[in-house]
Structure 1
Amino acid sequence: MPRVLTLTLNPALDLTVRADGWQPGTVNSGQELHLTAGGKGVNVASFLADWGLNVTATGLLGADNAEAFDSLFRAKPITDAFVRVPGQTRVGVKIVDHAAQETTDINLPGLRATPESLRELHACLDTLHADHDVFVLAGSLPPGVAPDFYAELIAELRGRGKYVALDTSGPALTAALNAEVLPQLVKPNQHELSAALGRELQTQAEILAAARELLERGAELVAVSQGEDGALFVSRTQTVQALPPRVQVVSTVGAGDAMVAGLVSAHLDGLKLTDAARRATSFSVGNITRLGAHLPPRDGLEGYAAQVTVTPL
């Protein structure tokens, strides 16, 4: 079975508080609280493990509060190849309002990466190259990591014949999309793509033109997520829009990561673009009906997939 490796340089403990109808600047009542292991690559690994794939998770992880990550990796199971570093992994606060169907995120900076920890991480990746077919580079870069880290790693991995998926934002995405070698799969949202390319992308035509520029430069699939409006999936031969069915939203945290996981699983199964878009969207829908980075059973995902509207463009 193919093996997938996810890289998370800036993981987070997600502290999710449900506070229906909360208002800023006042005292609010909360209904639930959950503390879970998170970070974009960790979430992708969790979804892929739920799907039944062999997954390894690596990156930089604070040694002082790693218990939630240890528990997640044992439960799924996910092969733990994280480099432990001194200190505590950052906490990301999520305020979930079921009444408004909204989630507010407060993201704190991560631990500063040292030259020693990055050397150890590179050594770890060198040992994992041969045993993994797909590499998912996901999430922000912590302090101490240069913006071109992903760009350099993508060139190295593609030079070794690996399939690379990228889901990041800010300077890291800008550097990766302006490099000579692009990943095969890029999954920004509309605003992230606009910022990375340095121009406004307001219309569907502008988004599609930007996606096709990336394809001309070496990408194979560009998926642009658009929230409730679904996502655009652009390959070199076809373009489709996928619209999700209406469901009761428990939390939107991890919906984009679920889409990445769906696209990776679709790549490994050799699905056509229409079916890949349907599966990726069903992963996102399945995730937002649950709290945390978890998928419903396969029959539930297949039910959601049947309700996804996929339109060729």
Structure 2
Amino acid sequence: MSATPRVLTVTPNPALDLTVHAGGWQRGAVNAAQGAQQDAGGKGVNVAAILADWGVPVAATGLLGRDNAAPFETLFREKGVTDEFVRVPGATRVGLKLVDPTLGDTTDLNLPGLTVSARALAHLQATLRSQPAGVGAVALCGSLPPGVHAGFYAEEVARLRGQGRFVALDTSGEALRAALQAEVLPQLVKPNIHELEAALGRSLTTDAEVLAAARDLIRRGAELVAVSQGERGALLVTAQEALFARPPRVTVQSTVGAGDAMVAGLISAHLDGLSLAGAARRATAFSAGSITRLGAHLPPRAELDALAAQVQVDAAQPLTH
């Protein structure tokens, strides 16, 4: 895309996703696979690819190993994503995705990633600080590699919000915990239910507890909390509303990147000024559409519109199972 990027995605720990299709595979046994493919991945890379498919001018940055950067460069070129990744010595990690089509589930094996030098991290921070005013939204995505402290996202959220940018955060573990404990929260927080439980250090066993946890984050400064719950759907909470979006049934090719597609949908809905119900429909349609494809790709708009029309959106006060 030739237009100035409106969105920047940040992926400090990208991965080459090796997706292996093995129906009925058994742990500890010799298994036959039906096929495999390798895609440039990582949460922010996926978000950028999905936004580009929707027609949003987008740039992507992060830390990318020089030794195997070619698949990422190819993806960015094909999608029209502006490549602002910082190149570092070594090879970007490989993430193994074992897909069982018979069960419709995916098992992830993620390596830790390259150890980041202070120089490389400073280069990435300089890239973030030099973004033009036209970049109105920044998505901080995925895990942090070795060498990057757990408070990195929390610090960047405060700085980016101070610049007047809309900040979305999709991470897990200690990085999410630190960001949710910080004084300044992102405007958009999108954990799945398990990530939210881990970050808060407690189980959320009822819908009322999930809703209360989301509302607490809203009180502390977030503007939209979206808690994804797999096939069941997602809870979306603002200061004014709480909705639950239930996706339509689709034929699953791979669930890899479904949450990233939801983040992309929520960001595009923000850019377009959609209502919460409209955002819920778009984000759920993006997520449902993405799992009908291998890799981070959206279906055609007509198909997405049809999916959005099938999304069931209900008030959550509290939700019912």
**Bin for the TM-score computed over the shorter chain:** over 0.9
Matching of residues 1-313 of structure 1 within 5 Å: 3-313=6-316
Deviation of 1:128 after TM superposition, in Å, equals 1.4
Question: What SS does the corresponding residue of 2:133 show, helix, strand or coil?
Answer: helix
Q: Letter of the aligned partner of 1:173 in structure 2?
A: L
Structure 2 CA distance for aligned equivalents of residues 148 and 120 of structure 1: 17
Give the residue type in structure 1 aligned to 2:272: D
TM-score, with structure 1 as normaliser = 0.99
For the residues of structure 2 that align with 1:289 and 1:123, how far apart are their CA atoms? Answer: 37
Q: How many aligned positions are there?
A: 313
TM-superposed CA distance for 1:131, in Å, is 3.6
Code of the aligned partner of 1:54? P
Judged with a 3 Å threshold, the aligned counterparts in structure 2 of structure 1 residues 129 and 122 are, in CA distance, closer, same or farther, namely farther
Separation in structure 2 between the aligned mates of residue 43 and residue 19 of structure 1, nearest angstrom: 23
Give the secondary structure class of the aligned counterpart of 2:255. coil
Structure 1 unaligned blocks of 5 or more: none
Detail structure 1 runs of 4+ shifted over 2 Å in the superposition.
none
Return the letter of the residue paired with 2:243.
Answer: V
CA distance in structure 1 between the partners assigned to 2:126 and 2:91 by the alignment: 22
Structure 1: how far apart are the matches of 2:185 and 2:28?
Answer: 44
**Structure 1, residues 189-247: CA drift from partner, whole Å, max 9, x if none?**
11111111122111000001010000001000000000011000001100100001111
Distance in 1 between the 2:285 and 2:142 partners?
A: 22
Q: Per-residue CA shift, 1:254-283, capped at 9, x if unaligned?
A: 000000000000000000001100100000
Matched residues in 2 for 1:309 and 1:217: separation?
29
Give the C-alpha shift of residue 130 in structure 1. Answer: 2.7
Task: Give distance in 2, aligned partners of 1:127 and 1:104.
Answer: 38
Unmatched segments (≥5 aa) in structure 2:
317-321
Structure 1 position 123, deviation (Å): 1.4
Distance 1:103 1:199 in 2: 25
Distance in 1 between the 2:209 and 2:15 partners? 34
One-letter identity of the residue aligned with 1:134: A
| SS of match in other structure, 2:313 | strand
SS at match of 1:130: coil
Amino acid at match of 1:277: A
Distance 1:220 1:275 in 2: 16
* Partner Cα distance (1:299, 1:131) in 2: 29
In 2, the alpha carbon distance for the partners of 1:124 and 1:102 equals 37
Query: Take 2:61 and 2:131, find their aligned partners in 1: how far apart are those partners?
Result: 10
Q: Structure 2 CA distance, aligned partners of 1:71 and 1:17? A: 21
* Partner amino acid, structure 2, of 1:256: G
Shift in Å, 1:41: 0.3
Deviation at 1:101, TM superposition (A): 0.8
**One-letter amino acid matched to 2:108:** D
Residue 129 of structure 1: how far off its partner (Å): 4.4
User: Displacement of 1:25 after TM fit?
Assistant: 1.4
Q: Give the aligned residue type for 2:102.
A: A
